[in-house]
Amino acid sequence: MKSRSWLLRLLIFCLSIFEFGVAALAENSSDEAPVRIVQLIQGNQFKRMYPDALTGLLESVSAQTTLNVDPDPLVIESFDDPSIFKHPFIYINYSDRQDWQLTESEKQALKRYIERGGFIFIDAGISASFLGTQNARSQGQSFAEWRVRPDLAELFKEIVPETSFRPLPRSHGLFRSFHVGLPDSSLLPDTVREFVVNEKWPQGSYSSMGLDVDGRLAVLAMPVIAMGWGRNEVGKWTRSIGFRIRESAEGLSDRLSEAYASGEPFEVTREDGRTDIIYTQNQAMASWVQEAGGDWRVFQYHYSQEISDYAHIFYTQLGVNIVVYAFTH
């Protein structure tokens, strides 16, 4: 009887290892074939805003950690591609899929993938409504809203109806799975340092929504971070990044409450579930905000080489943490 019980446990163990193929065993060994991440891309691969971003991130993962990952992702065009079951991580930039109305076979494939332990990261799966749906806006700005895109929320509610997206707390282990805290903030100009450290990215955290299945994080959605990964042939960052920060001054609330905005006001969800109201000017540029607590603040936009470099370092650090977390939890 004991022999049968031992054999049964051994069989279950072997099947769990084989779930995503032999590659799943190679995550910490340079002697084995590297782990390959799956990337979904539909349409023309050369008409994307960040075509080399994921490769750049995976090169950073290999350089900074002991994970043995292939820098070239396996590209698929549909979620019902059977190759997904050989790889434990799927990356999607929201705009790389033209239509998020999935076929029934795709929904069933994603359901099985999640049930078998797969991890899905949807970059730009969060985008504030005032940014619109055009790539240049929604892919060019990250805004700390704590609500996934409505079509994604509806899709995954159908795939895994027993759960729903929830905000990741600032203390979540994902934000310290490898890198802990922010890069050296002394590199930042005084004009933005306090806001970045205390409000924008406290303790190296980021606006994130997660879908937990069977006690583990199975699907992760964030505002776009791919803009912080790509380098060109000579090692320079391919995109300049600025900071949008909130500023206040004595009497500003009174003046802003009576100010005229040429654009529509938009509600955005905070991490505590309350809403701010964003007032826009000049085609989706956030100008000022009426915060849930009653205060009004103005948005200021800051650009410099130091700011851009810092943002790239942070976004790469965050991307590394996501990959490490996915392979160790």
Tokens 């849930």 appear where? 292
Tokens 């590209």 appear where? 75
Average pLDDT over residues 133-160: 83
Tens digits of residue pLDDT in 187-220 = 899 989 999 999 999 999 999 999 999 999 999 9
Of 8 and 300, the structure prediction assigns the larger pLDDT to 300
The percent of residues in the chain predicted with pLDDT above 70, rounded, is 86
In the CATH hierarchy, which fold is given to the domain comprising 33-80+87-237+307-328?
Answer: Rossmann fold (3.40.50)
End-to-end CA, the chain: 34
Tens digits of residue pLDDT in 224-271 = 999 999 777 777 887 899 999 999 988 988 898 888 888 888 999 999
Give SS3 for 300: strand
Please name every residue paired with 92 in a beta bridge, in sequence order, or none if there are none. Answer: 122
Q: What is the pLDDT of residue 3?
A: 42
How is the chain split into domains, by residue range?
33-80+87-237+307-328, 243-302
Q: What is the pLDDT of residue 137?
A: 58
Q: What is the DSSP letter of 33?
A: P
Tens digits of residue pLDDT in 304-322 = 999 999 999 999 999 999 9
Over the chain, what is the mean pLDDT? Answer: 87
| Element (DSSP H or E) covering residue 157 | helix 150-159
Please name every residue paired with 280 in a beta bridge, in sequence order, or none if there are none. Answer: 286
Tens digits of residue pLDDT in 67-118 = 999 999 999 999 999 999 999 999 999 999 988 999 999 999 999 999 999 9
pLDDT at 287 over 70: yes
